[in-house]
Structures are given as C-alpha cells and as structure tokens.
Structure 1
Amino acid sequence: MNFRFALSVCLALCGTTATAQTAPTLAQDGLQARIDHLSQDAVANGFELGMLQTLRGVEQTLQSRYDYGLWQDNRMLPVLRFGWALVPNPTPQPSGPETFSKIMVQFVTDMQTARATLATAEGSGITPFTLTLTDIWFDVNGNGARDRGEDAAQILGPVVLDRQALRAFERASEDAAPLIIRFDEADHAWLTAYTHMLSGFGNLFLAFDPAPILRDLGAARDALADAPEIPNHYDPEALAAEIEALEAEQQQIQKRVDAIAAQMAPLSDEQNGLFRQRTEATDDAEIARIETRIQELSDEMATLRPQQREANQARALIRNEIRSAKAKLDTKDDGQIQRMARSQMASIDALYVILSALEQQPDADLIRAAHADWLAMIAHNRRFWDRLAQETDDDLEWIPNATQTSALGVEIPPRVAAGWQAILADAEAVLQGRLLIPHPLLPSGHGIDVTAYVDDPAPIDPIAWIHGIGATPYTARGPRITAQSWQAFQRLTGGNAGSFALFLN
C-alpha cells in the first residue's frame, strides 16, 4: 500500500471537509469554528457543511471519551474503535453505565444532522469544493489548539492500517506535498452513503443497549467491597515449619540439578567440538576415531538425561508446592492466573458486556433503523458509481473513473467498479431476504433470513446461535450468499479488498 492510498483509506472512515482562504480556517481553528462560519450561508455551503458535520460527529465521540477517560481497548466496538491509542485524560470525569450509550446516541444524531444538510444541498444544487487533507484534525482534548497526535490520519491510521503501512505513512508524511481534493456531485453520494453506514452501526449498538449490563456489572463489583471475610483457619506456625522444610528440600533438589548439569556440560562441550572437527577432518582413521568418541559421549549423556529430567521435574513440583503453601499464609495474594487475568480485564469485560448485551431483548425500532440505514447506504453508493461514470473532467479526483486520475495517487484497478457493485448487490439481496446467510450446522439447503429477524428481533444466545438451534426461527430454504463476489474483488484488487472496501464504502 503506497502512502497516498494509505492516507485515503485512513480518512475515508470519517469523511472529509474543505478549507478556504477566509478565516476561520479548518487547519488552524478546527471543525466547530469552520461549521459556524459556513452555517452563515448554509444553502450555498451545504455540501461542505455536511462533510464538516460528519467529521464533527467523529470528533465529539473522541472528545466525550477523552472527558470520561474511556480509552481502554474498544477495538471490538463500532465507531468507538477510533483513537484507541491516544493518550488518556489524566483527570477524567466519572463515567456511568449509560455513558457509552449517550455517546452513541449523540453520534447517530450527528450523522442524521449531516445527512439532512447533505439532502438540502442536493435539493438546492451541489456545490463542489476543495480540501487539503492535512488540514483535518480532531480537537480531542477540547482545548481549541491543534496538539500533537490530533491529526485525523494519526488517530485513524492505527485502526485501518497494518503496522508496515502505518510506518511507511509516518515516514512519508513528513516530506509529502499537500494533498488537495475537489469533492463533486458523485462524492456527495459517497459521503451520504458513509453516514448511513456509520449510523447503521450506531443504531445496532443502541438496539442491544449495553447500559443495563454495565450497570449490573458495576453493582456486582461494588458488592465485592461488602463481601464477608472469614478468618484464616490455617495454622501459621505449622505452615511456616512446613515451608521451611520444603525450602530445605528444594535446596537439595537444586544441588542435584546443578550436579547433573555440571556432569553434562563438559560432555556436551566436548561433543560440539568433535562435531566441528568431523567437518574438517579428511583422514579416514581420524574420522572414525572422532565418530567413536562422539558416540561414547552420546551414550554417557543418554544415561544422565533421565536423571536430569527427573530432577528438573522435582524442582518445578516443589516450587509450585511452596508457592501454594505461602498462599495459605496470605489469602490476599493473587496467584499467577489471577494476575494474568487482571491485566486483560478491560478486554474480558468488553467481551462479557457484548455477549451479555446480545442476550437482551433488542429494540425492534432500532434494529429496523440499522437495516434501513444499510439499504440506504447501498442505494447511495450505487448513485455514486452512476454519477462517477458520467464525469468527463479530471480535476483533483477523490475516487476516479476509468478516464480520470486520483489526486491521492490511488490506483483503481480495472473492473473494480463492477466488482464492488457485485458485492453491493449481494449485500442488498441479503438485507432484502433474497439471499440467505449460510450456517454450517443448519440442514442442507437452509440459511438465515435477515428480514425475518428484522421483522421479529429476539435476544441472541451466542451458544445457541453457534449451535444453529438459535437461528431456527429465522431459517428458510433457498439460495445462500457465497464468497464469490468478495473473492473476485480480492483478485481484482491484488488481495487488498479490505482497504478498498473502506475507501469505496
């Protein structure tokens, strides 16, 4: 992945905006100041304003998470994955079980606002505009200044780029010329599709609102402070004597380990030296002598190895026994497994919350809203490709057609447009129930009908759905989606389908 394409993918997840020569500028003053300026003539600036509002929606999620110190690993969560590597707030506000849900509600509202602005722009006439990509930044800490680490590419890059591509981008960005894009009528449809994609994920998140799970989890953790404490019934004096005896035995075992190692070391050293001599020797008699001695050393070490294994095993067993005996003296001391689990607690909690949230009764209206968002995303993406195919200019293109050149240096392989629209057609067929989702444990010829679930959403028991029995109320017989369109797209893009999917929406 070249540098310019890496940057394009990085910025594609959150939209784009334009910079003008009049104050306030995006590069210096940030998103909200520029939004306020453009809003003075919202009709004329509708397209640019809609893009800024889309970006502002992403910025507000970052600011809220910074305010509340919610920078733990959220890479399993849609939208909230952005900026996971940023420096946390040293003095965060206290958060509650509803904090994540409130952030997502605001984000979905922001996408709706941006979409309404874009719709107004379409009705009054879409006005193209230009943007310098490096002007985009997020005021994460809300101090009004463009601080280090707040560039959009720096925040989004760790999410959408692999390490090699990210390092290449960081090296190239220091010397790169400004990347200027002219966004036109086709790109208006592209952005509208993206707002639907993002708000679809937001609505799905809210449909299985994790707030009750987080509330119960917090209450359970708080209750641990009031857990009753029972006295330690182990006899400390007897334990101390037992530990002392075990440690004395451990010293004897260690002496045996050391003694065997001392016997093995010269034998091994001599044998290694003979191996080197064997490779250099040319005289047959000398070679025979060396091989005889190598075999003698191997036989000697072979008699010692069982003793070495036995001694090492005895050392490991008594070490574990001593550790367990000491744990009886200090019941507050965690074992190794507990310490390892605690270091991964944020990820463990996130997985628990996600799986438990799925087992709740989802909000049917929000499920349908997410479904409608993704159908609208496909419709607007098709509109984008139709408009793109009709373009005859070649002016700082965001995504070029076959006769245009990308201002980003993105090389769009031949037939990619048709390949991507084949993927959209499959996705639309699944969302409309014309193709089923295969499940390996359902009977032959059966699959899951998405529309059946949208019409009557129910809790998702992960184990039951993995087994297949949980999916039976939504099962139908008929054609199932296959990976052919995706595999064809992989071939068209040289195995880079994921990056192109993020870019093309």
Structure 2
Amino acid sequence: MTRLLTALAICIVAAPARGTESPLAEKFLHDGRLAEGETALLVVLDAAPKDDTTRFGLGMIQFARAVENLGRALYEYGCVSEKATQPFLRLPVPKNDAPAVISYRALGRILDAFATDLQRAERTLAGITDDKVKLRLRLANVAFDFAGTGESHTTLIDLLNTLNGGRFGFQTDNPEFRVHFDRGDVAWLRSYCYLLSAMVEGYRSVDEEAGFEVRVRDIFPKVAPPAREPDPNWLGGLKVVDPPRLRRARLHMVAVCELNRETWMHIRVETDDDYEWLPHPKQTDQLGLPLTDERIDAWLAMMAQGEELLKGERLVPGFLISFVFREHPVEQGLNLKTLLDDPPADLLNEKRLRLKGIDAKYLEPEKGKKLLDLSTLGPINQLFNGPFGFAYAARLN
C-alpha cells in the first residue's frame, strides 16, 4: 500500500507553462486554493476549448482535489495514518483532537467519493490530444489543506518525506522538485486514476462489515459498532454484494494496461531531455531511478498478458489451478473475464472450491487458446528486486 500512496502523492501536477513563466494552475496549487483553481481553469477552457495546456492544468487540479478531499475525510474521522496498512488510509493528515465516529458505511462513502473525483480528473485528461503538450512545474510547494480550515497546509514535499521516512536525494540538486511533464505523462496519470478506481471498486464489491471495528480500531479513535450482526449461515469466502463493481474494476484494469502501452509509446520517441518525469534510458531521471529498456520491456510484457487475461483472450492454465485444487482437470483453463463479470456470491470460498471445484461456466478448453505464460513474470521479479524495486514499480503503476 505504501507503493500506491507514494505514487498517489507524487503524481500531483499542474498545467504547463507557455515558455518558462509559472502556469496559472501552479499558483493555485502552491496557494492550496484548489477549488478556486478548478473554477478558474474551467472558465479559461470554456473560452478556448482546444487549449490542451489549460485542459491538462484542469485535470491535474482535479486530481489534486481528489487527494485533498480524501485527506479531509480521513482528517474528519481522526485517521492515524502511521498505524494504517490498509489501502488509502496511509495518507498523512494532521491530528484531529475532535474526530467524528467512523463506520463501515461511512468509509465506503469516502472511497466512493474518491473514485468519483478520480474519474472526473481522468475524463478531463482523456481530452488531451496535443502530442507536444508540456508541463513545467515546481512540485515541492504544492499545498493541501487537509484540515479544511484554510490556515494550515501540508506541502507535497513534506508529504513525500513523511511517506519516505526522510528526505529524498533529489532535494539537494532539485529543491523545487521541478519536473516538466509531457504527453506520455498524461497517459501515465490517467492510468493511475484507473488503478486507484479499480481498487475502490474491488473493495466495495464485497461486504467486509463483519470485523471492521477490530480492523480499524487502532487507526480511527472512534468506531461505530457494526449495523448488523455477522450472518451465522455464511459459509465463507468473499461475500460479493455488488457484482457490477467487479466488472467495473476489471474494465478499469484493462484501461491501466492499455494506458501503460500508450505511455511508453510516447516516451520512447522523445528526443529532448527536459526535467523528465518518466524518462527513457537516454534521458535524465529527476528521482535518481533511471529505467532501462530491459525493465520497460519486461513491464510492458506483463501488462500485455494482464490485458489479455482481463479481456478473456488468455486463460489461467489448468495446471496452475491444479496446484491449489488437485482434482481440477488440467485441460480446462479459467476465463478471468467471465469470473469477474458474473462472480459467485461466495467468491474465493476455499471449502466450496475444494469440494466442488470451479464452476464450469468459468472454464474453457485450453486447446487453441492462449494461456498465461509464467515465464513473462520471471523477469519482473528479477528486474524489480532489490532495495529500489518497490520504487521502480510504483513509478510504472
């Protein structure tokens, strides 16, 4: 989860400048006036709807607002982020001495609102078509008003240092955290919007109210008891209560795979070396985490396999399933698309799976079908192993 939250924080960006002047969006970001900034850029875009510079700035302010709104909700309930390991709860927010009482359903509403904010930003970014769009930004002083008072702000660099447990090396040579974002980074940020939205949809598709109070009692000072008692007749597994959300999660992840391909299609043809966010091997990396062609190729190969699995064009092979369920017929592969689009109510119920196996409607004969190639995953483990493997993976999604 640290990987996702670190990436969530570091991808807050603003509109590009024309020339070298500070862009309009950067001023609002530095002042922590994100709602005003969104309004201002909407007005500019209304007057010049083909201006992708303004559109980029609008999308980035909307993304920043998604992060700030999430932080404000966590602050309202007194989230103690340093004690959290759960997704989205590790965003550092100020201490609230008078927190509200959190409930399972309230947290669900917070996450739904976050996903809605992300999709608004993604829709704006998706309208960018100018391959030469450029964002000249100073990210260190991007400010978030998590308390909602307008009096105290958390800067992006402080947020990053908190998540990192100390200062980053780039702060010595690039204290303003200057990055010039370009067309490939548009696709990268859209991909992150989809990735985080997929996580929300997946979590919200199942009922995890039972045990919620115990899971979060160290994170939130005041937790409401569950609204209902656990079902004594429940036989186990994930209790799917909103199946369409799993389908939406699948479609979001398909978009992640597609946008990873688009990201590197643009980045690999760049000829400049201009404060790059995601650099190809001949460019300078601002974070000190240069990427090799070998790493990029391995990542894209994994994304391609994932995309085909999620589209039902490639099956999970039967021999792999038989390692877990010995009676599974090895010539029958699992169609992940079918499973996620029409899941059983007790998804991942181990007892049922061991007794009855996987429902036949999710299986297909392997003959003539592409299968998950485990050899594609091997290079990922090797190339992203080591002390900085986590950081490399976070940057790539």
TM-score range, shorter chain: 0.7 to 0.9
Task: Give matches, 1:215-294, under 5 Å.
Answer: none
State the distance in 2 between where 1:69 and 1:120 align: 37
Is residue 137–residue 146 contact of structure 1 (8 Å, CA) maintained in 2? no
**CA-CA distance at 1:41 after TM superposition:** 1.3
**CA-CA distance at 1:471 after TM superposition:** 5.8
Is residue 63–residue 118 contact of structure 2 (8 Å, CA) maintained in 1? yes
Residue 48 of structure 1 is matched in structure 2 by: 57
**Compared with structure 1, are the counterparts of its residues 39 and 199 closer, same or farther at alpha carbon in structure 2 (3 Å cutoff)?**
same
Letter in 1 for 2:87: P
**CA-CA distance at 1:466 after TM superposition:** 9.3
Residue 179 of structure 1 is matched in structure 2 by: 177
**Compared with structure 1, are the counterparts of its residues 444 and 389 closer, same or farther at alpha carbon in structure 2 (3 Å cutoff)?**
same
**CA-CA distance at 1:358 after TM superposition:** 5.9
Is residue 10–residue 157 contact of structure 1 (8 Å, CA) maintained in 2? no
Residue 18 of structure 1 is matched in structure 2 by: 14
Residue 102 of structure 2 is matched in structure 1 by: 95
Instruction: State the secondary structure of the residue aligned to 2:71.
Output: helix
Is residue 14–residue 55 contact of structure 1 (8 Å, CA) maintained in 2? no
Residue 371 of structure 1 is matched in structure 2 by: 250
Task: Give matches, 1:447-462, under 5 Å.
Answer: 448-460=334-346
Match of 1:429 among 308, 313, 319: 308
The answer to whether structure 1 residue 151 and structure 2 residue 155 are counterparts is: yes
**Compared with structure 1, are the counterparts of its residues 89 and 175 closer, same or farther at alpha carbon in structure 2 (3 Å cutoff)?**
farther
**CA-CA distance at 1:146 after TM superposition:** 4.2
Is residue 8–residue 503 contact of structure 1 (8 Å, CA) maintained in 2? no
State the distance in 1 between where 2:180 and 2:205 align: 37
State the distance in 2 between where 1:109 and 1:380 align: 19
Residue 394 of structure 2 is matched in structure 1 by: 502
**CA-CA distance at 1:139 after TM superposition:** 1.5
Taking structure 2 as the reference length, the TM-score comes to 0.77
Question: Which protein has the larger Cα radius of gyration, Structure 1 or Structure 2?
Answer: 1
Letter in 2 for 1:167: G
Is residue 207–residue 364 contact of structure 1 (8 Å, CA) maintained in 2? yes
Match of 1:486 among 377, 381, 391: 377
Residue 108 of structure 1 is matched in structure 2 by: 115
State the distance in 1 between where 2:356 and 2:36 align: 50
State the distance in 1 between where 2:217 and 2:4 align: 34
Task: Give matches, 1:392-403, under 5 Å.
Answer: 392-403=271-282
Letter in 2 for 1:17: V
After superposition, the C-alpha distances for 1:430-483 in whole angstroms (9 at most, x for unaligned) are 212313173432236355431121231123365526964576113455465355
**CA-CA distance at 1:378 after TM superposition:** 0.9
**Compared with structure 1, are the counterparts of its residues 77 and 358 closer, same or farther at alpha carbon in structure 2 (3 Å cutoff)?**
farther
**Compared with structure 1, are the counterparts of its residues 128 and 104 closer, same or farther at alpha carbon in structure 2 (3 Å cutoff)?**
same
Residue 35 of structure 1 is matched in structure 2 by: 38
Is residue 237–residue 349 contact of structure 2 (8 Å, CA) maintained in 1? no
**CA-CA distance at 1:17 after TM superposition:** 1.2
Letter in 2 for 1:95: I
**Compared with structure 1, are the counterparts of its residues 418 and 378 closer, same or farther at alpha carbon in structure 2 (3 Å cutoff)?**
same
Instruction: State the secondary structure of the residue aligned to 2:137.
Output: strand
**Compared with structure 1, are the counterparts of its residues 21 and 186 closer, same or farther at alpha carbon in structure 2 (3 Å cutoff)?**
closer
User: Any stretches of 5+ residues in structure 1 without a counterpart?
Assistant: 1-5, 219-341
**CA-CA distance at 1:391 after TM superposition:** 1.4
Instruction: State the secondary structure of the residue aligned to 1:121.
Output: coil
**Compared with structure 1, are the counterparts of its residues 390 and 89 closer, same or farther at alpha carbon in structure 2 (3 Å cutoff)?**
same
Is residue 82–residue 156 contact of structure 1 (8 Å, CA) maintained in 2? no
After superposition, the C-alpha distances for 1:335-383 in whole angstroms (9 at most, x for unaligned) are xxxxxxx899548x9xx99999964333122111111111011111111
Letter in 1 for 2:66: G
After superposition, the C-alpha distances for 1:271-304 in whole angstroms (9 at most, x for unaligned) are xxxxxxxxxxxxxxxxxxxxxxxxxxxxxxxxxx
Is residue 384–residue 390 contact of structure 2 (8 Å, CA) maintained in 1? no
State the distance in 1 between where 2:91 and 2:42 align: 27
State the distance in 1 between where 2:36 and 2:260 align: 30
Residue 252 of structure 1 is matched in structure 2 by: none
After superposition, the C-alpha distances for 1:48-93 in whole angstroms (9 at most, x for unaligned) are 211221121121111011112243778453333433xx44311122
After superposition, the C-alpha distances for 1:96-153 in whole angstroms (9 at most, x for unaligned) are 442111111111111111112112333x777322111212232211122344xx2335
Letter in 2 for 1:374: M
After superposition, the C-alpha distances for 1:233-284 in whole angstroms (9 at most, x for unaligned) are xxxxxxxxxxxxxxxxxxxxxxxxxxxxxxxxxxxxxxxxxxxxxxxxxxxx
State the distance in 1 between where 2:4 and 2:104 align: 35
**Compared with structure 1, are the counterparts of its residues 424 and 469 closer, same or farther at alpha carbon in structure 2 (3 Å cutoff)?**
farther
Residue 65 of structure 1 is matched in structure 2 by: 74
Letter in 1 for 2:324: L
**Compared with structure 1, are the counterparts of its residues 464 and 489 closer, same or farther at alpha carbon in structure 2 (3 Å cutoff)?**
closer
**CA-CA distance at 1:213 after TM superposition:** 4.4
Taking structure 1 as the reference length, the TM-score comes to 0.62
**CA-CA distance at 1:398 after TM superposition:** 0.8
**CA-CA distance at 1:207 after TM superposition:** 1.5
Which piece of structure 1 moves more, 94-103 or 71-80? 71-80
Instruction: State the secondary structure of the residue aligned to 1:401.
Output: coil
Letter in 2 for 1:195: C
Instruction: State the secondary structure of the residue aligned to 1:79.
Output: coil
**Compared with structure 1, are the counterparts of its residues 181 and 174 closer, same or farther at alpha carbon in structure 2 (3 Å cutoff)?**
closer
After superposition, the C-alpha distances for 1:307-361 in whole angstroms (9 at most, x for unaligned) are xxxxxxxxxxxxxxxxxxxxxxxxxxxxxxxxxxx899548x9xx9999996433
**CA-CA distance at 1:494 after TM superposition:** 5.3
Is residue 141–residue 157 contact of structure 2 (8 Å, CA) maintained in 1? no
Residue 384 of structure 1 is matched in structure 2 by: 263
Which piece of structure 1 moves more, 408-417 or 56-65? 408-417
Residue 203 of structure 1 is matched in structure 2 by: 201
Residue 441 of structure 1 is matched in structure 2 by: 324
Once the two structures are aligned, what percentage of the paired residues are identical? Answer: 24
**CA-CA distance at 1:392 after TM superposition:** 1.6
**Compared with structure 1, are the counterparts of its residues 24 and 387 closer, same or farther at alpha carbon in structure 2 (3 Å cutoff)?**
closer
**Compared with structure 1, are the counterparts of its residues 491 and 366 closer, same or farther at alpha carbon in structure 2 (3 Å cutoff)?**
same
Q: Which has the higher helix share?
A: 1
**Compared with structure 1, are the counterparts of its residues 420 and 103 closer, same or farther at alpha carbon in structure 2 (3 Å cutoff)?**
same
